Amino acid sequence: MSENIEQENTDKKNIEKPVKKTKNKTGFYYSFLTLVLLFCLIQIGFGAILNISKTISYRAKISTLSKIRDEAETQNQELKQDIKLFSSMSSLEGIARNNLKMAGEDEVLILINNNQQQNQKKIKNKKKAKHKKNKK
C-alpha cells in the first residue's frame, strides 16, 4: 500500500511539472504578444499624426499655389490687353521714345543723366571717409 501511495505522489509531481512549464510558456507568449501589439499601436499612432500634419501642410501649400496661379492669370490677362493696345503705331512710338530713349526722324534727343552726378558724390564721400580713418 505504501508503494501505491509513493507511486501516486510521484505521478502527481510529474503531472504538475509539465503544467507549470506550459503556464510559464503561455505567460511568456502573452507578454511577448502584448509588447508586439503595443509597438504596433504606437506605430499606428505616429503614422496617423504624421499623415494629419502632412495633409495640413499640403492644404496650406495648395492654397498659396492657387493664389499665385490666380495672380499669374490676372497678369497674363493684363499683358494680353497691353499687347492689343500696343499693336497700334502711336503706342509703339511712345514706348520707343519714353522707355528705349529713341528719337524719330529729324529729331534730336537730349538725355540728362542725374545718376552720374550722384555716383560721383558717393565716390567723393567714400574717399573722405577713408581719409578721415587714416588720420585717426
Q: What is the pLDDT of residues 32-76, one digit of tens each?
A: 999 999 999 999 999 999 999 999 999 999 999 999 999 999 999
CA distance 29 to 75: 68
SS3 labels along 93-125: HHHHHHCCCCCCCCCCCCCCCHHHHHHHHHHHH
Q: Are 91 and 99 in contact (CB under 8 A)?
A: no
Q: Where are the domains of the chain?
A: 2-87
Note the pTM of the prediction, 2 decimals.
Answer: 0.42
User: Quick one: what percent of the chain has pLDDT higher than 90?
Assistant: 36
pLDDT value of residue 24: 76
CA distance 6 to 11: 9
